A and B are shown apart, each in its own frame.
Chain A
């Protein structure tokens, strides 16, 4: 299985600012996903990061708020823009290879917005 790292592991930010979260995988993977896990809630898919094309966003999430980059098959970033306290959450990236439904998750980034 792939080994996934995320940076930063945690951060405290002021409202109105933006934070970029990095996701690095130790092998080339086809699919990369970004999730949000709010306290007491289930993991919610934000978007699927596609290499060489625009990310595919789920209902309720927009590119202006959560721009995503996927420059190659081992790396992706998620930016949380113009943050408010409601954005306080754990953000997780996961990966899967084409033809496989199993996803492997990074350790998550804990974000607190004041």
Chain B
């Protein structure tokens, strides 16, 4: 069955450092992969989309890589800030249906 794995343990980093979150998947050939941010008590907010034929995507301090051979995506936040503290979800899709991972909690401390 399809499986999407994100680090279940929270990631604690110091302000200014680069946060790297991992999303691995098995038994799946997604056409694209998305990353969302979710704050407590709120719905997920879209951050970035990367397609199967793309290796890397950037948006301001965010960078996503997508390795379809390794079946892995890495999500980087450079120069992290306490305001980046949240849960980050990866979602794989084919067509309109999205399959989400459980998310990784990121805590950026001053």
Contacts and interface: CB of A to CB of B under 8 A. Distances in A.
Interface stretch (A39-47, A60-68, A72-80, A81-89): A39-47
A36 B45 CA distance: 16
Contacts of B93: 101
Interface of A: 1, 4, 31, 33, 40-45, 48, 58, 92, 94, 96, 101-108, 110
Given A102-B34, A102-B46, A108-B42, A43 B96 contact: no
Contact of B34 (A1, A92, A101, A110): A101
Interface residues of B, number: 21
Contact of A101 (B44, B49, B99): B49
Contact of A105 (B41, B43, B103): B43
B10 interface: no
A104 to B, nearest CB: 7
Question: 5 tightest A-B contacts by CB?
Answer: A105-B43, A43-B100, A42-B100, A42-B102, A105-B44
